[in-house]
Amino acid sequence: MALAALIFDIDGTLSETEELHRRAFNDVFADFGLPWRWDVDLYRDLLDVAGGKERLAHFFATHEGGAPGLADRIAELHAAKTARYATLVAGGAARLRPGIARLMRQARHAGLRLAIATTTSLPNVEALLCATLGPGAVDLFAVIGAGDMVAAKKPAPDIYRYVLDALALPAGACVAFEDSSNGLVAAHGAGLPTLVTPSLYTAHQTGAGAFDGALATLSDLGEPGAPYRHIAGAGHGEDMVTIEALERWLRRIA
């Protein structure tokens, strides 16, 4: 089946945004006079719960005997966090990971469609695309599936199914790009061949058996003169993810 679309996760895949999410959560805790500051180790564990609102609810329910009254203020705290995140991103705090802009450009020239399938809220997607790919970048994407557009977040496959429905394409005509095991499970649940580029917060998941079944697991997508490091699956002995390489790797598993 011919390759027709690339579907990208946002956080950790397009950019190392989780550090900015963590900062935004902590800034909001401080603004609201709340005692918590999430450090890197705690946040890595909290990322097992996909979605900022769900993460806050989980934290409030499981830490320091719960946080009376706060369960009712999650929407308010999360809205403030989303605004803070957008300010950080608009200020230039996020950069695309290696190879992302190059591969997107190549895909568009080849007539492929681009899509997003993410747990993060839509304003975060818009802020990141605008800051990294330029104003109007949202229009480069045929479909953006984000946040609460589906009831069940990753690792449920719902957001990928939503995007496939909107693209009106079978999973076999697409490749998903993910950075986490939650994301891989979600993409696989929708039947998508998936390329994994582990990120700062998911590198610890790169053990034996991790990312099993991924089309390829690579350090990043590679740039001219800055090859990716091959971790598992397809792409051994090569240096950059290109449309030609993806088509070749897909033929091998067809």
Residues that bind ligand XBP (CB under 6 A): 9-12, 18, 21, 50-52, 82, 118-121, 124, 147, 154, 180, 182-183
**Least separation in angstroms between CB 74 and Mg ion:** 21
Residue least distant from ligand XBP (Cβ): 52
Q: Is the peptide bond before 155 cis (omega within 30 degrees of 0)?
A: yes
Q: CA dist 131 to 146, 169, 203, 204, Å?
A: 18, 29, 25, 28
Decide if 9 is catalytic: yes
- Which partner from the list Mg ion, ligand XBP, none does 121 bind, CB cut-off 5 to 8 Å by kind? ligand XBP
Closer by beta carbon to ligand XBP, 55 or else 113: 55
Closer by beta carbon to Mg ion, 11 or else 220: 11
Contact of 57 with 28, CB cutoff 8 Å: no
Q: How many CA atoms within 13 Å lie on the side-chain side of 107?
A: 25
By CB under 5 A, residue 12 contacts Mg ion: yes
By CB under 5 A, residue 158 contacts Mg ion: no
- Which partner from the list Mg ion, ligand XBP, none does 194 bind, CB cut-off 5 to 8 Å by kind? none
**Least separation in angstroms between CB 115 and ligand XBP:** 13
Burial of 67 by CB count in 10 Å (0-12 exposed, 13-18 middle, 19+ buried)? middle
Maximum CA pair distance of the chain? 55
C-alpha to C-alpha distance for 214 and 207, rounded to whole angstroms:
13
Q: Which of 19, 158, 179, 220 binds Mg ion (CB under 5 A)?
A: 179
C-alpha to C-alpha distance for 12 and 177, rounded to whole angstroms:
10
Secondary structure (3-state) at 174: strand
Closer by beta carbon to ligand XBP, 67 or else 79: 79
Q: In the chain, which ranges are E strands? A: 5-8, 113-117, 143-145, 174-178, 194-196, 216-218, 230-233
Residue least distant from Mg ion (Cβ): 12
**Least separation in angstroms between CB 43 and ligand XBP:** 9
By CB under 5 A, residue 9 contacts Mg ion: yes
Closer by beta carbon to ligand XBP, 10 or else 150: 10
Decide if 11 is catalytic: yes
**Least separation in angstroms between CB 4 and ligand XBP:** 22
Query: Phi and psi of 236, rounded to 5°?
Result: -65, 135
Closer by beta carbon to Mg ion, 126 or else 239: 126
By CB under 5 A, residue 19 contacts Mg ion: no
**Least separation in angstroms between CB 37 and ligand XBP:** 17
Query: Phi and psi of 230, rounded to 5°?
Result: -75, 135
DSSP 15: B
Which residues would be at the binding site for Mg ion (CB under 5 A)?
9, 11-12, 179-180, 183
Which residues are marked as active site?
9, 11
